[in-house]
Amino acid sequence: MPRFGHFHGAGDGRELDCSKIMRMGRRAEVKVKISRVEELELLTEGGEGHNHNSWAIWAEPKVLR
């Protein structure tokens, strides 16, 4: 079964949170504190060492300060 991969929240060049490897049909919530973050990034990474057949969807991302 193909894997989605990891979901990362990064701020100012450093990792703030990372999900475990997600499989098809699974969900994860990534919450990070961003009160002192200037640049926020929502990143994904393939879970099998490559990006072939890797899918990532950030559904309804919200930023609250």
pLDDT at position 34: 87
| Model confidence at 5: pLDDT above 60 | yes
Per-residue pLDDT tens over the stretch 29-52: 777 788 889 999 888 877 666 666
DSSP for 6-53 reads: EEEEEETTEEEEEPPPEETT---------TT-SSEEEEEE-TTSS-TT
pLDDT at position 1: 38
Q: What is the mean pLDDT of residues 19-35?
A: 79
| Model confidence at 19: pLDDT above 70 | yes
